[in-house]
Structure 1
């Protein structure tokens, strides 16, 4: 199971562009990329709510903001995003070994699928699950447990690869081993302080694991 934002693809530029458009339409001040980065990872709904709170907007404007955000994100999805180094090599190495892979993200499925297609990664995965495919999102263990079921594997034998405490907490609760990449977002906190089974600087390192 592999996370998407901050693990496979650097999507901060897309988030910033979509939020800029949303805030501008609402007559609200924009945030810096550094501010946005600390809010990424718990799903788009959480991101929008966090941004509204940060700029001092009335929480009652959430529905308006959510509609605008979706419109702007759909327009920019993938435009400002880039693959992290070693992603394609790492995924290809796992596929060559016959491992089944699932992309498991808190990003809405309607945004995740086109992004994977645009970046040439869609064919790497047996399954793609978005944050709206389950009743709860990471760090709840439910998405991981359901993904294990889809893959036909036991949690204890199914690795979670992510970039943040969200992924690690979900993996621990689900009984899955977890590796975290040393880049990514992790809510603005040092990732090596997270309880995980190991850390990798690039997914290409997986090609050397025996």
Structure 2
């Protein structure tokens, strides 16, 4: 089946927010639990929603911890976010070639808008589905299904691209093809274990696949 729609995760896929996310978690957790968390401890928190992560740590303080995380994250956003190689050129080419393209992310819209503005990617996307737009987050298929409805797209003609197992599972649950990115902070082998349809060494590999 020919692909005519491409959905992307944002963090760690289109924009390199890994250091920002890690720093935001370490800042927050070290305030509440001094010296308990190291860099390796927070890597598993990349991918799930903040609510899910902080609920697993301290259900009574979820909202205040999210607030602390976001304040730090927004304050340091532009200094710590970087571009990934060939992302801009690839997304630009997809739009020029007439593909339907969208973003499906577990971030709140305010943070998403900051990332899209900094990366200059915003004009290319027809649809952006954030955690504010859904009841359930990836790996549930709801966010992808919402993006497909808004784009008038068919799951069998869609590719979901992401850096985390949540992205691969969400795509599989929604009936799309999937692509994992080898630059995932969790490592290529980790993503491969979830059996994505493709692994991308760099984003421009998409143009070859399509």
State the aligned residue count. 204
Deviation >6 Å, runs of 4+: none
Q: Tell me the SS of whatever aligns to 1:79.
A: helix
TM-score by length of 2: 0.88
Paired residues of 2:182 and 2:188 also in contact (CA < 8 A): no
Q: Tell me the SS of whatever aligns to 1:38.
A: helix
| Higher strand proportion (structure 1 or 2) | 2
Paired residues of 2:20 and 2:77 also in contact (CA < 8 A): yes
Deviation at 1:30, TM superposition (A): 5.8
The 10-residue stretch of structure 1 (27-36 or 189-198) with the greater mean CA deviation from structure 2: 27-36
Residue ranges of structure 1 left out of the alignment (5+ in a row):
none
Change (3 A) 1:186 1:149: farther
Paired residues of 1:106 and 1:138 also in contact (CA < 8 A): yes
Paired residues of 1:44 and 1:108 also in contact (CA < 8 A): no
Paired residues of 2:26 and 2:38 also in contact (CA < 8 A): no
1:6 aligned onto 2:6: no
Q: Which residue of 1 aligns with 2:206?
A: 206
Q: Which residue of 1 aligns with 2:142?
A: 142
Aligned mate of 1:32, from 34, 38, 46: 38
CA distance in 2 between counterparts of 1:61 and 1:128 reads 29
Deviation at 1:27, TM superposition (A): 5.7
Deviation at 1:140, TM superposition (A): 0.1
Residue ranges of structure 2 left out of the alignment (5+ in a row):
1-6
Within a 5 Å distance, the mapping from 1:33-112 to structure 2 comes to 33-50=39-56, 53=57, 58-112=58-112
